[in-house]
Amino acid sequence: MKKVDITVSLKLKLLLETALSFILALMYLFTFSAYVIGPYYIKNQNNWNYTFVFYLSLLYLASAVGVFVLCFLLMSNRHIKYIKYIAGEVKLIAGGNLGKTLKIKGKDELAELCININTMSKELKNKFEYERDLERTKSELITNVSHDLRTPLTPIIAYLDILRNEKFSTKEEEKEYLNSSYNLSIKLKKLIDELFEYTKLSSKEVVLELVDVDICPILNQIVGEYAPMLESKGLRVVSQIADEELLVKVDVEKMVRVFDNIISNAEKYSIKPSEIIVKAEKKLDYVCISFSNKGEHIEQDKLNKMFDKFYRVDISRSSNIEGSGLGLAVSKKIVELHNGQICAECDGNIITINVILPNVKY
């Protein structure tokens, strides 16, 4: 049997309490008349003291008003206590205790007010934490960027100084300095682009162009584009993409960026020669896309940090491996915007990155 929620207005409650207080006051008047005024009148009807009767009548009416007020205060006291409770809790929230929730009693306007205050408190807490995380991210970005930007910028300035002052001996040296400056400039531009993209993805204003697509043709196209380059570096791509249709709702351009970042990361850290296995399959109500490569064993605590910005697993090799350390962090942001998950696991020397996306249901 379906439960029916009955909402009683606070105004109706107060009206009922007023009416009940009035009835009790009338009952008091009746009782007072029957047991005090009546017997006195019968006993003293031949010897009537009008002054005494006047004051007794005043006491009679005043006590009736007192009974009415007392009954009303006793019945409405719980509302007053609840209002004082709400005022005290709101004061605590205003003092910085964000996220605090109020007890909801009854189903009237005061209960509705508490629900709205709870919603406001949670939203304020979320907004405050978001702003705090944003400030922390900005501070971390400034700290890391100042170092990462300086790394390619210093040799660029040195090479340009050599070229400007013509401190080279041959045309070959000049060309070498120009090529080095150009390559470092491209590296610097890539870093700035990734920093800009990461910052943009961290903003709540980012908008995804979501469409329902079969992820298999997209993966096959990416694998086909990367295969020649990877094979030239001793890496064979093994495709284990399902033949069935795997429908997901994604921003295709951004999701392609995720797959590009993961494959590029696998290429950098793979033992050569070896294989990169790309697999896509449906599991229950989600689609799992995995990229596996052979590399050095990685501990679980390091795997958990792989998707942190500027983190590199092999610190000793970081200076020899191109990249900003933002690729997987950008990928994580994109996947989370799609209500998906990205994680890494290591079995022996096989490292697997899994991208889990909700399956489209019709």
pLDDT score, position 237: 92
Note whether 198 and 220 are same-domain residues.
Answer: no
Q: Residues 221, 197: one domain? A: no
Does residue 46 share a domain with residue 143?
Answer: no
Which residues of the chain form beta strands (DSSP E)?
211-214, 235-241, 247-250, 274-283, 286-294, 341-347, 350-358
Q: With respect to residue 346, please indicate whether it lies within any of the assigned structural domains.
A: yes
CATH number at residue 321: 3.30.565.10
Instruction: Say if 2 falls within a structural domain.
Output: no
Task: Say if residue 181 is in the same domain as residue 216.
Answer: no
Distance from first CA to last CA of the chain, Å, rounded? Answer: 31
According to DSSP, the residues that pair with 291 across neighbouring strands are: 278, 353
Q: Which domain holds residue 186?
A: 124-202
Per-residue pLDDT of 43-86, as tens digits, reads 776 666 667 667 777 877 888 888 888 888 888 888 888 888 88
Chosen domain end from 202, 233, 266: 202
What residues form DSSP beta bridges with 249?
A: 212
Rounded to 5 degrees, φ, ψ at 6 are -110, 120
Q: What is the mean pLDDT of the chain?
A: 82
> Residue 98 in contact with residue 124, Cβ under 8 Å?
yes
Span 38-44, mean pLDDT?
Answer: 72
Residues 326, 260, single domain; the answer is yes
Single pTM value for the model: 0.58
Same domain, 195 and 232: no
Residue 201 near residue 330, CB atoms below 8 Å:
yes
Q: Same domain for 155 and 239?
A: no
How many structural domains are present in the chain? Answer: 3
**Which is it for strands 211-214 and 235-241: parallel, antiparallel or unpaired?**
unpaired
Residue at 250 is within a domain: yes
Q: Please tell me which residue, 312 or 260, carries the higher pLDDT value.
A: 260
315, pLDDT greater than 80: no
Question: pLDDT value at position 300?
Answer: 81
Lowest mean pLDDT among 68-72, 212-216, 334-338: 68-72
